[in-house]
Structure 1
Amino acid sequence: MATTMLGMLGVFLCVLAVRANVMPLAHFDVQKVEGKWYLVGFATNANWFVSHKADMKMGTAILTPQPNGDLQMDYSSLKSDGSCWKMNHLATKSDTPGQFVYRSQRWENDNDMRVVDVKYDEYALIHTIKTKAGSSYVLNKLYSRTQDPSQEVLKKFTTLSLEQEILPENIVILPKAEECS
């Protein structure tokens, strides 16, 4: 029992340490992220990613700020069979600008999402801590207004991910794909 409690305390402290390291952008303006973005980069320390990363392709995200400051996120990507994969989340604003929380019904996890860097007409770096059944992992995403972000932006994404101890082989720039209609 004591060993289990110490183990759980260790996991909790690790999660707190990760959360403390990445702060959202201080002067984030949710209204300026409105519109279409390409999901260009994906990086995570989650075990499931290793077996799925080869099949992942660039998709789109439509971000729609809500009047109360929440953020509607609608994702889509074209699957290899030609069908369209879609997912949506309503991210609730927190008391900290640039930080949102939401629950994924599809994946049954809780998400602490932080916009850590943004140039509203070019790119956004998103850091999310996903928690399911007491276990947490990090997911970083690179959104771009175009399918071809600059090398400087790609480097920022890679640096953020390496700082979160994501293995280099789990930092992926997704291949271009046709968009869902």
Structure 2
Amino acid sequence: MRNTLVRMLVALMCALAACADVMPVQDFDLQRMAGKWYLIGFATNAPWFVNQKANMKLGTAIVVATDGGDMDLTYAHIKDDGTCWRTTHLAKKTDTPGRFTFHSQVWNNDNDMRVVDVAYDEFALVHTIKTKEGASEVLNKLYTRSPEVSVALQQRFTDFSIETGILPENVAILPSAAECPVA
């Protein structure tokens, strides 16, 4: 137990140092990012994820570009009881294209989100630093336009996650699941 905790603390410190240098993709285009995505990859050293990753399944994200250049982001996934869990965040644009910030009412944390790699018709790699009560965690997500993901893209996501300080065992490609109906 102690060894695991020490490894997680070391990984978190490395992640925070590495994340300071993680920049959004050049020439980010929010209009092209808009639409439906499948949340297929998830990676973080956060204790809640370590305890829950075996139960997590693929979900969806809908990205809408607002008139002001902000990102309206709605997540949905089917829970084990068949009901849908949904949450929406209004991610405010920053002076850096591809970088957004928002406060999550659900989790009561501040989020610094960066779209670090994207092929708008195929995938997006999103890196977020979540801060709550002075403690920060790194969360990487892999979004795809279809529920299938190539081995090469899985490896790209895994490599990026490890480079940002996430332990290899905390990188997950989520299994398929039914989708929530459109709200």
TM-score by length of 2: 0.89
Give runs of aligned pairs for residues 1-181 of structure 1, distance below 5 A: 17-181=17-181
Give the superposition deviation at 1:119: 0.1
Contact 2:15 2:138 in 1 (8 A): no
CA displacement at 1:18 relative to structure 2: 3.5
SS for the counterpart of 1:53 is helix
Give, in angstroms, the shift of residue 21 of structure 1. 2.2
Q: CA deviation at 1:71?
A: 0.3
**Cα distance change on mapping 1:14 and 1:173 into 2, 3 Å:** closer
Q: Secondary structure at the match of 2:169?
A: helix
Contact 1:15 1:136 in 2 (8 A): no
CA distances 1:20-61 after superposition (whole Å, capped 9, x unpaired)? 221111210000011100000000011111111111100000
What root-mean-square deviation, in Å, do the aligned CA atoms of Structure 1 and Structure 2 show?
Answer: 1.3
Residues 124-156 of structure 1: CA distance to partner in whole angstroms, max 9, x if unpaired? 000000000000010000000011122221111
Query: After TM superposition, which residue ranges in structure 1, 4 or more long, deviate above 6 angstroms?
Result: 13-16
From the CA coordinates, give the structure whose radius of gyration is larger.
Answer: 1
Aligned length: 169
Q: Does the 8 Å CA contact 2:24/2:97 hold for their aligned counterparts? A: yes
> In 1, Cα distance between the equivalents of 2:15 and 2:99?
16
* 16-25 vs 64-73, which moves further: 16-25
AA in 2 matched with 1:173: I
Counterpart Cα distance in 2 of 1:19 and 1:68? 27
| Percent of pairs with identical residues | 58
**TM-score for both structures, normalised by structure 1:** 0.90
CA distance in 2: counterparts of 1:157 and 1:14, whole angstroms? 18
SS class of match (1:86): strand
C-alpha displacement of 1:17 = 2.6
CA displacement, residues 74-113 of structure 1 (integer Å, 9 cap, x when unaligned): 1100001000000100000000010000000110000000
Q: Would you say the 8 A contact 1:72–1:89 is kept in 2?
A: yes
How many Å apart are 1:174 and its aligned residue?
0.3
Letter in 2 for 1:96: T
Runs of 5+ in structure 2 lacking a partner?
1-12
* CA shift digits 1:148-181 (9 cap, x unpaired): 1222211111111000111111000000000011
Q: Structure 1: give runs of 5+ residues left out of the alignment.
A: 1-12
Is contact 1:98–1:115 with CA below 8 Å preserved after alignment? Answer: yes
- Tell me which amino acid in the other structure corresponds to 2:95: D
104-113 or 16-25, which deviates more: 16-25
TM-superposed CA distance for 1:67, in Å, is 1.2
Cα distance in 1 for partners of 2:152, 2:33 equals 20
CA distance in 2, matches of 1:23, 1:34: 20
